[in-house]
A and B are shown apart, each in its own frame.
Chain A
Amino acid sequence: MKITEFVKGFMISVNTGIQHLFRKRMTTMYPETQNYPTLDMYAYDPRKGIAVSGWRGRHYLDMTKCTGCQLCYIACENISEAIEMVPLPETNYPQNKKKIFPAVDYGRCVFCGFCVDACPFYALYMTPVAELSEYDRNDLYYSPYELSKPPAVNPTPRAKEKIDIKRGVYDER
């Protein structure tokens, strides 16, 4: 082996080492920067029959639209029994005369999104917030009031239309 080849190989490895010093860091510094994969809410449009793609995390319940029809409960009944209809007699919404709302047990929920698909009144969404870990099992049970609070991150609403040319998929958001 000639000494010039040895020096050349050595210099190449030093060069790649120096290049890596100035590259963008690959690791996501998680608790400081919370960059979620997407901020879209998973939703379903029952009139058009199109599901809007999004990250499936904690639910968001719109209590001004929920009619207490129990379709989300029926969808969840044979999957994991996470949703339970809870009577809230103190509420006074005109569309919900039975005064029952869904409550979700996140110890059982598998985030399949079938409850969102089943809702015909645009009342259930899924937000990208997935950090739901707790010390106590009972804290994983979310009441309708907790579900109706918007999450700390701001997910985008689904009002505007969009066509994704790259994937060749119609995405109506």
Chain B
Amino acid sequence: MGTSESSEGRKKLVYSVGDSTSYALVGKLKDVVKRSVENPLGYVVNWGRLYSLWPVHMETGCCSVELGAASGSRWDIERFGVLEAFGSLRQCDLLIVLGTVTRKMMPRLRVVWEQMPEPKWCIAIGACSISGGLYLDSYNVMQGIDQYIPVDVKVPGCPPSTYAIIDGIMLLMEKIRRSDLKGHYPAGTSEEDVHALIQAKEEVKTKA
């Protein structure tokens, strides 16, 4: 059975903030010093990217209501530098896909993705955009947008609650913190490599 050790490790990291503050602080300081000595320029640039994520909202379903609630005053995602809906695609670096992506919408989504400048990231929110969700085996709903554009973080739920969305954004911030100067994660990969990885995984699935 494929038990995912990585997920448990990540959850420990998140939960340790509330339980034992001193240990979390020491671990964080060690991490910061290590990364800033290894790659000082990349560390500073990624620190700048990290706390000013400008999102494009691809609102095709009801998950957009939850993101609206997350940017409200109760769960304020602007504390992390994530703005509300912003006008121009050319100045944004985060694509948030909220909801069902149909066959007709997918080319538009791809156009939106390619209009954004590098470095850029993508979050898929909700069961529909991750895997098709309730519209399984549908003739006009895409069964997961990660087959067509590289998705960095998947937030499951139908729709996910606000704190789940904030957790997903923090996971993306952790990814940006560990990426290289060009914004690729893990360091040294490009979008073509990601596509090759997806194809290799598909081949493994079809063989098994």
A residues with a Cβ closer than 8 A to B are: 26-34, 36, 79-81, 86, 88, 105-112, 130-141, 143-146, 152
Contacts and interface: CB of A to CB of B under 8 A. Distances in A.
B99 to A, nearest CB: 13
B157 interface: yes
Contacts, number: 119
Q: Is the interface of A mostly helix, strand, loop or mixed?
A: loop
Contact of B171 (A86, A106, A110, A133): A133
Which of B2, B11, B76, B163 has most A Cβ within 10 Å? B163
Chain B contact patch, size range: 35 or more
Contact of B154 (A30, A107, A111, A143): A107
27 contacts: A28-B75, A28-B163, A31-B167, A33-B18, A80-B134, A107-B130, A110-B158, A112-B158, A130-B157, A131-B11, A133-B154, A133-B155, A133-B168, A134-B171, A137-B146, A138-B2, A138-B4, A138-B201, A139-B4, A139-B6, A139-B7, A141-B2, A141-B4, A143-B1, A143-B2, A143-B3, A145-B1
B142 to A, nearest CB: 13
B61 interface: no
Nearest to A111: B158
Given A27-B73, A143-B1, A80 B127 contact: yes
B170 interface: yes
Interface string B132-157: 11101000000010100000111111
B2 A131 contact: no
A130 B6 contact: no
Contacts of A105: 131
B127 A110 contact: yes
Given A108-B136, A143-B3, A27 B130 contact: no
Contact of B156 (A81, A86, A109): A109
